[in-house]
Amino acid sequence: MTDEELDRLIEAQAVLLGLGLHPEWREAVRANLQVTLRFGAMVEAFDLPDEAEPAPVFSA
Amino acid sequence: MSPWQDATSIAAAVRAGEVTAVAVVAATLERIARHDPALGAFTALVSARAMARAEALDAARAAGEALGPLAGVPFAVKNLFDIAGLPTLAGSAINRARASAPRDATLIARLEAQGAILVGALNMGEYAYDFTGENAHDGPSRNPHDLARMTGGSSGGSGSAVAGGLVPIALGSDTNGSIRVPASLCGIFGLKPTYGRLSRAGSFPFVDSFDHLGPLARSVRDLALSYDAMQGPDAADPSCAPRAVEPSLPGLDGGIEGLRIARACGYFRQGLSPEAALATDAVAHALGVTAEIEIPEAARARAAAYLITTAEGGALHLDRLRRQAEEFDPDTRDRLIAGCMTPAPLVIKAQKFRRWYQQQVLRLFDKVDAIIAPATPTTAPLLGQKLFSIGGETLPVRANLGLFTQPISFIGLPVVAVPVPEMGGGPLPIGVQVIAAPWREDICLRIACHLERQGVARAPRPREMR
């Protein structure tokens, strides 16, 4: 994603989540979200079967 | 009383009547008053409470009562532990408005039940989302080996207080490395137990999936002594395993004969500073380790740990971010806001990957009993330093000091971080992780004890504070 696309995403999510973002926070939030998405792509790229269970298992 | 006496010898002296608990606590409070202004380790003292407990302990001894194994041992806790009568800060300004905790955290109560005496609360990175030990509200905790350098975090005050000889034992928390990183940078021993081993009841959370509590100390026997005192199930913490106490002290001197130990290669060999490489070499040599083992997909494990951390941390603080965003430490705030925006499918995939990864790593323990790996990529960076060089790449300090700790806590394995002093000829220590299979803290501690006896692992006294 470009910086402009990310900024639009951040702006929309801030509205959705009810977060008031100061303009001067934008760059650091974007930088952190870029790391999240880079790591997210690494995890996404790993092939797991549909049956793979998440680590936390709820016991009734 | 020497400030460098360990908890085991203090308790023995108090039990034998060679020194009173009141004298121990008074000397501790005096040393804190003298050195803490420079170290920035403490955020609160509970002096009156500590003296009252010490007096009660001395009276009990005078009445012929048996004293516990931690009799008269002063200790302190990261300020995310509940202390009755104080608000639980978790390194924040926001939590100063919270009501005072009605009771002590379970682990404080368990240590005090064995005779230990709480003296205060310790500085930490805000809401534990930190590897530096810096804090915008309380100032940084400083490294006793060089006051211009970081302690590491987020249990920075715990590292500073123990390494500086203010207390023999401190408690910290470790979500991604927050006990092991300060243990490494401050040159002390730190135990991150198996996930679910020690109760988290009465502590302020960060990431439920990875939060652990544990001790930091200047000797392995003190780690084992305090760890044994804190074990046991706790109905107040749903994550605490229903396991009976498995004492580690009786087997601590068992040596390493029969243990199969390997060194982590691949990911854990990359991006090491010369000091980190030398320290891991020294530990491997002392243990006679020649075998290497690959922890599969460690880089991806770190990535997945990052995703779960940022998402769970963001979700925890969402309401505070809505109402009080300006009151956060800016470094924490920006990360938490970004965390709230993590796409849910990534987090769910990360949790699925976590189970896959756990199954792969557990298989390694069919072949070995323990794995050694560096604890941090470098010795302590300077306070305020934003970037450092790892493997020729320039990276942010704050996010990357936990490069080698994150893939281990991601699946809750027990680890002892052992300090190796003065690697590379400088005054700064650096740590090495001793990692075992779940519930085998005893193996980590035995190996750490062996290394300590050989003189390879040792908590050095800071030059300025001897």
The pLDDT averaged over each successive group of 10 residues in chain A (60 residues) is 95 97 95 96 97 84
What gap in Å lies between CA B305 and CA B405, rounded to an integer? 10
Alpha helices in B249-297 (DSSP H): 274-286
- Mean pLDDT taken over chain B: 97
pLDDT of residue B324: 97
Q: How do residues B72-96 score in pLDDT, each as one tens digit? A: 999 999 999 999 999 999 999 999 9
Say if residues B314 and B340 touch (Cβ distance below 8 Å).
Answer: yes
Query: What's the token pair of residue B84?
Result: 């009755």
pLDDT of residue A38: 96
Domain extent, residue B15, equals: 7-465
pLDDT of residue B179: 98
Contacts of A9 in chain B (CB under 8 A): 341
Q: How do residues B306-318 score in pLDDT, each as one tens digit? A: 999 999 999 999 9
Q: What pLDDT band is residue B466 in, cutting at 50, 70 and 90?
A: low
Is a pLDDT exceeding 90 seen at residue B42? yes
Domain extent, residue A18, equals: 3-44
Query: What's the token pair of residue B390?
Result: 């790892």
Catalytic residues of B: 78, 154, 178
Q: What pLDDT band is residue B50 in, cutting at 50, 70 and 90?
A: very high
What gap in Å lies between CA B163 and CA B217, rounded to an integer? 8
**Average pLDDT of the residues in B332-337:** 97
Is a pLDDT exceeding 80 seen at residue B462? yes
Closest CA to B203 of B193, B194, B213: B213
Cβ–Cβ below 8 Å for B346 and A32: no
B/e letters for B205-218, b = 16+ CB within 10 Å, e = fewer, are: bbbebbbbbbbbbb
Helices then strands, each counted (H, E), chain A: 2, 0
**Average pLDDT of the residues in B185-209:** 98
Is a pLDDT exceeding 90 seen at residue B22? yes
Who contacts B242 (Cβ-Cβ below 8 Å, separation ≥6)?
B233
Q: What is the value of pTM for the model shown?
A: 0.98
Query: What's the token pair of residue B12?
Result: 């023995």
**Average pLDDT of the residues in B331-347:** 97
pLDDT of residue B235: 96
How distant, in Å, are the alpha carbons of A6, B297, B319 from that of A9?
5, 30, 20
A59 inside domain: no
**Average pLDDT of the residues in B417-424:** 88
pLDDT of residue B68: 97
pLDDT of residue B318: 98
Say if residues B193 and B232 touch (Cβ distance below 8 Å).
Answer: no
Say if residues B128 and B90 touch (Cβ distance below 8 Å).
Answer: yes
B2 inside domain: no
The shortest CB-CB distance from A53 to any of B326, B346, B352 is to B352
Say how many domains are in chain A. 1
Query: Helix axis angle, B344-364 relative to A26-44, nearest 10°?
Result: 50
Q: How do residues B277-286 score in pLDDT, each as one tens digit? A: 999 999 999 9
Q: Which residues of B touch A (CB under 8 A)?
A: 209, 297, 299-300, 302-304, 306-307, 310, 318, 321-322, 325-326, 330, 333-335, 337-343, 345-346, 348-356, 358, 399, 411
What gap in Å lies between CA B445 and CA B394, rounded to an integer? 35
Q: Which CATH number characterizes residue B264's domain?
A: 3.90.1300.10
How distant, in Å, are the alpha carbons of B185, B224, B225 from that of B453?
21, 15, 17
What gap in Å lies between CA B250 and CA B227, rounded to an integer? 13
Contacts of A46 in chain B (CB under 8 A): 297, 300, 349, 353, 356
B300 inside domain: yes
The neighbour count for residue A22, using CB atoms within 10 Å, is 10
Q: What percent of chain B has pLDDT over 70?
A: 100
Contacts of B340 in chain A (CB under 8 A): 13, 17, 19
Say how many domains are in chain B. 1
Is a pLDDT exceeding 80 seen at residue B423? no
A25 inside domain: yes
Beta bridge partners of A49: none
Closest CA to B376 of B123, B132, B39: B132
What was the ipTM of the complex prediction?
A: 0.97
Say if residues B163 and B187 touch (Cβ distance below 8 Å).
Answer: yes
**Average pLDDT of the residues in B294-303:** 98
How distant, in Å, are the alpha carbons of A45, B7, B118, B202, B415 from that of B108?
44, 15, 8, 9, 21
What gap in Å lies between CA B141 and CA B150, rounded to an integer? 7
Cβ–Cβ below 8 Å for B334 and A29: yes
How far is CA B241 from its chain centroid?
20
Say if residues B185 and B167 touch (Cβ distance below 8 Å).
Answer: no
Q: What pLDDT band is residue B425 in, cutting at 50, 70 and 90?
A: confident
